[in-house]
Amino acid sequence: MASHLETTARVLSEQLSGLDLGGRLALVAGASGRAVFTTSLGIEDQVITAAIGLNRLPIEVATLDTGRLFKETAELIGETEDRFGIEIVRFHPAKDEVDAYASRYGLNGFYESVEARHACCGVRKLQPLARALEGASFWITGLRRGQSGNRAETPFAEYDAERNLIKINPLADWDIGTLQAYVADNAVPVNPLHARGYPSIGCEPCTRAIKPGEPERAGRWWWENDEKRECGLHVPETALPSLNSSSL
């Protein structure tokens, strides 16, 4: 199965490279299997949501409502649903897992160690993501090569061995100028935090505005020293400290 999906991903990546955004999403929507797009409501994801809604594509749209989102992000969910006539399904962390995390590390223990931070991401993001992608054949994301150094080689399609599905990155080759032009041309609502220096927006306690000249994702988990810091959504879970509930 893995070999077949790897081959399919390589073929898809080549096909997607020659299409515009609408064509890329339509190709995935027309393939055999369920397609799920997970949005964090950042500008990349708002563009993909707009393309799905404006083209009436049969792609499910979901978001991970971690319980620690910025107020502006939470408000944008409803605004986006109204603008494009779609439903964004919210996936929340399990209360018992959040309570177990807080009991071991403290509610804001993620500031104290990388292990604690990854454990929090595991409870609030990875576990809800697993539910969102259950039974999916394709996972659509807003990853771009220009977001950070460790995303510089992002393909249009890739096999996700951990989740045994194909991840689709339809904006892999887009730059910020192209995103902004699409937003302006299609009246796409965007998070007001972008205008306040937040190009990459995650949970409120873990995101700050960036300084002039900093990479786009420098404001995420800024207190950590690892330049390749991630939450685990887009890197193998085995590469991170233990994130499963047994570690809590």
DSSP string, 21-73: HHHHHHHHHTSSS-EEEEE-SSHHHHHHHHHHHHTT---EEEEE--S-B-HHH
| Alpha-carbon gap, residue 20 to 25, rounded angstroms | 9
184: Cβ contacts below 8 Å, ≥ 6 apart:
none
| Alpha-carbon gap, residue 179 to 190, rounded angstroms | 11
Q: Is 231 a catalytic residue?
A: yes
Residue with tokens 């194909």: 166
95: Cβ contacts below 8 Å, ≥ 6 apart:
none
| Alpha-carbon gap, residue 66 to 120, rounded angstroms | 10
| 3-class state of residue 10 by DSSP | helix
Residue with tokens 């990854």: 118
Tokens in use for 51? 């393309």
Marked catalytic residue, from 120, 203, 206, 231: 231
Catalytic machinery residues? 231
